[in-house]
């Protein structure tokens, strides 16, 4: 039982470590994106590191090449002089025995090594292809392996050249015998040439030069460049941080003051010091804030006067309207005794008085919203019951317009804490508007719910809206087509009041539209007060994800799938079938 547990634990720890690394990375990215000073400093450091690295690489390469070329030229000249000296000595010698020849070789190697201006090893060998009774002489036999067979053949070939200083140079890596395993080899150069001893034949002469001093000099220079580069980058970072702080701090203070101004603290001002560009910006900012404060104060006073005027006028008009209503009802009730013209006038008077009363009621409601006096009388209600009641009231209008109402209430109760009067007013406005603009095409009403909220979507397939109309659909007294006939006598305030009612619940009221393809309105309300909605259970537009929200601002030229064919009128139930609020219904 312990083995499975032990095998799962490392994976769990690895996953936790990976999640922590990703979380830290995400935090670092958010921090980098949210701080201009950090972005400038990191950008300066990246550019500085790249520049210092490029400059250091260039200097290191140039200095290393210079040291190598200088040392190589000295080695070439010194080995040429030594080889010429050896040839002169060998030409003057005339050994008669093998012992004399061996002694001559030993003396020459000692003389070449001791006569050099720098430390080097000397090798004097007889050719591999020619048997010899003498022993090869070397000052460092542990380095015999650095002389490769290819170099020996190239060295023997120099014996046929006319030049007296014909030499072969080859770079080698020297590993000291006392070095520990893994030690970096020391760079060096082997110089080879062929020398001839009269009556004894041709011999191979090699010089092994170590470039260790030059390598140490180069490493010292590289270390100095590295330390200098690090200090330079650090100094660049400090300077950049100080400079950006001097520029960013005033911007941060201005941002804090701007946030305070946005929160309504109109007396906030920047502290201005000095006479530089930032001080000029601060004074301009303070001047702008003072101007905005004066304008906002004037606008607030004007708005208050306007709201008071609308409220007072609305209240004052109710008294004469009541008197006119009483007289109008008397005329309307006795219209059968009038002539055709007087009868029609009485009917028009009654209709316009109804519209006038609706307008006064809407103006009073708007004035309450503007004054912040609107209150919510919330209770636990099933949204399907409210939809059912709205549909029953809208059926006569739908019948006159020849519009089919398709209602989908779902099987699960869509309960929420709502003000039933306000929600019913919202849905009544949406359904009536959909019927008016459906152009004898079906109107679909769908109820949905999830753990956080409830939703009602009202969709028609009529004239639709453009992007500009969708943007203004909730404006007060705005109509998509002012010349369009309105048989129900709307005031132009219905959707504005509906939007305020939705906001009062902490919900959303959204719109979507396409010309020739219809419109869709979605009301999303939280189930309880305090819930912040993150999405909607039903899509607003066709093919929209269920958690999407917001106005659709696409243009008129955007195409969408065609509206499917609907059932024939004979297949639809009658008004008596609307009684059950627990399923999908279609009524006409």
- In this predicted structure, the answer to whether residue 61 has a pLDDT above a threshold of 60 is yes
Average pLDDT estimate for 450-454:
89
The count of other CB atoms within 10 Å of the CB of residue 539 is: 20
Asked which of 125-129, 177-181, 336-340, 402-406 is least confident by mean pLDDT, the reply is 177-181
Average pLDDT, the chain: 79
Please tell me if the domain spanning 93-215 has the same topology as the one spanning 377-587. no
Task: Select the more confidently predicted residue: 543 or 126.
Answer: 126
Asked which of 114-118, 348-352, 387-391, 555-559 is least confident by mean pLDDT, the reply is 555-559
Q: What is the pLDDT of residue 587?
A: 41
> Which of 175-189, 319-333, 433-447, 479-493 has the highest average model confidence (pLDDT)?
433-447
CATH code, 377-587:
3.30.565.10
> Which of 127-136, 308-317, 511-520 has the highest average model confidence (pLDDT)?
511-520
pLDDT confidence bin for 547, thresholds 50/70/90: very low
What's phi and psi for 532, nearest 5 deg?
Answer: -95, 115
Q: What is the pLDDT of residue 230?
A: 92
CATH code, 93-215:
3.30.450
Q: What is the pTM of this model?
A: 0.48
pLDDT tens profile 521-544: 999 999 888 888 888 889 888 766
pLDDT tens profile 368-397: 776 666 777 889 999 999 999 999 999 999
Q: What is the pLDDT of residue 384?
A: 92
pLDDT tens profile 152-206: 888 888 776 555 558 899 988 888 776 667 678 888 999 999 888 887 788 889 9
CA distances from 215 to 23, 64, 221 (A): 46, 8, 10
DSSP string, 90-149: HHH----SHHHHHHHHHHHHHHHHHT-SS-EEEEEE--TTS--SSPPEES-GGGGGGS-H
- In this predicted structure, the answer to whether residue 585 has a pLDDT above a threshold of 60 is no
Q: What is the pLDDT of residue 347?
A: 80
Task: Select the more confidently predicted residue: 559 or 262.
Answer: 262
Element (H, E) at 187: strand 186-197
CB contact at 8 A, 170 and 190:
yes
Residues 6+ apart with CB under 8 A from 201: 126, 127, 130, 132
Domain ranges of the chain: 93-215, 277-352, 377-587
- In this predicted structure, the answer to whether residue 282 has a pLDDT above a threshold of 70 is yes
Percent of the chain at pLDDT > 70 equals 83
> Which of 159-163, 323-327, 437-441, 563-567 has the highest average model confidence (pLDDT)?
437-441
CB contact at 8 A, 470 and 553:
yes
Average pLDDT estimate for 15-29:
85
pLDDT confidence bin for 54, thresholds 50/70/90: very high
Average pLDDT estimate for 261-286:
83
Task: Select the more confidently predicted residue: 476 or 50.
Answer: 50
Q: What is the pLDDT of residue 165?
A: 59
Work out the burial of residue 50: count CB atoms within 10 Å of its CB; fewer than 13 is exposed, 13-18 middle, 19 or more buried: exposed
Distance of alpha carbon 525 from alpha carbon 507, whole angstroms: 4
- In this predicted structure, the answer to whether residue 1 has a pLDDT above a threshold of 60 is no
pLDDT tens profile 397-425: 999 989 999 999 888 888 999 888 889 98
pLDDT tens profile 213-259: 888 898 899 899 999 999 999 999 899 888 888 888 888 888 888 88
């Amino acid at each position: 039982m312990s083995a499975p547990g032990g095998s799962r634990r490392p994976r769990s720890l690895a996953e936790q470590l990976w999640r922590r690394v990703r979380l830290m990375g995400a935090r670092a990215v958010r921090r980098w994106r949210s701080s201009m000073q950090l972005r400038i400093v990191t950008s300066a450091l990246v550019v500085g590191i790249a520049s210092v690295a490029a400059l250091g690489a260039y200097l290191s390469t140039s200095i290393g090449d210079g040291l190598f070329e200088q040392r190589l030229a000295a080695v070439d000249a010194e080995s040429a002089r030594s080889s010429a000296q050896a040839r002169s000595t060998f030409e003057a010698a005339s050994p008669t025995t093998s012992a004399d020849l061996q002694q001559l070789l030993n003396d020459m190697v000692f003389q070449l090594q001791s006569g050099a201006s720098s430390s080097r090893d000397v090798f004097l060998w007889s050719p591999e292809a020619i048997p010899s009774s003498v022993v090869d002489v070397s000052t460092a036999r542990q380095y015999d392996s650095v002389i490769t067979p290819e170099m020996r053949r190239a060295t023997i070939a120099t014996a046929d050249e006319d030049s007296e200083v014909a030499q072969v140079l080859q770079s080698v890596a020297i590993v000291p015998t006392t070095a520990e395993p893994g030690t970096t080899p020391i760079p060096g150069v082997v110089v080879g040439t062929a020398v001839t001893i009269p009556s004894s034949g041709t011999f191979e002469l090699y010089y092994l030069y170590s470039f260790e001093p030059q390598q140490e000099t180069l490493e010292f220079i590289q270390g100095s460049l590295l330390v200098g580069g690090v200090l330079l980058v650090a100094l660049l970072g400090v300077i950049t941080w100080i400079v950006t702080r001097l520029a960013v701090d005033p911007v941060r203070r201005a941002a804090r003051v701007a946030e305070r101004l946005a929160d309504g603290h109109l007396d906030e001002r920047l502290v201005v010091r000095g006479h530089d560009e930032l001080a000029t910006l601060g004074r301009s900012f303070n001047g702008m804030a003072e101007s905005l404060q004066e304008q906002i104060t004037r606008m607030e006073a004007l708005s208050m006067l306007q709201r008071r005027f609308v409220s007072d006028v609305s209240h004052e008009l109710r008294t004469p309207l009541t008197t006119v209503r009483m007289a109008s009802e008397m005329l309307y009730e006795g219209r059968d005794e009038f002539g055709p013209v007087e009868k029609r006038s009485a009917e028009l008077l009654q209709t316009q008085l109804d519209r006038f009363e609706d307008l006064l009621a809407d103006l009073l409601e708007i004035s309450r919203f503007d004054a912040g006096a609107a209150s919510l009388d919330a209770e636990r209600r099933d949204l399907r019951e409210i939809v059912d009641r709205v549909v029953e009231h809208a059926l006569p209008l739908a019948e006159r317009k020849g519009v089919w109402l398709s209602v989908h209430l779902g099987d699960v109760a869509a309960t929420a804490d709502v003000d039933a009067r306000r929600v019913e007013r919202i849905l009544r406005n949406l359904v009536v508007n959909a019927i008016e603009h459906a152009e004898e095409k079906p109107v679909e009403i769908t109820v949905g719910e999830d753990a956080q909220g409830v939703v009602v979507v009202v969709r028609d397939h009529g004239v639709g809206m453009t992007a500009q109309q969708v943007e203004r659909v909730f404006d007060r007294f705005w109509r998509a087509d002012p010349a369009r006939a309105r048989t129900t006598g709307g005031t132009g305030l219905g959707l504005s009041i509906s939007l305020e009612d939705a906001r009062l619940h902490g919900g959303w009221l959204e719109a979507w539209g396409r010309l020739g393809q219809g419109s869709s309105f979605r009301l999303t309300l939280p189930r309880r007060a305090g819930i912040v909605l993150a999405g909607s259970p039903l899509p607003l537009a066709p093919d929209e994800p269920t958690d999407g929200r917001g106005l659709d601002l696409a243009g008129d030229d955007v195409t969408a799938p065609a509206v499917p064919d609907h059932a024939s009128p004979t297949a639809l139930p009658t008004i008596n079938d609307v009684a059950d609020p627990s399923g999908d219904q279609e009524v006409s």
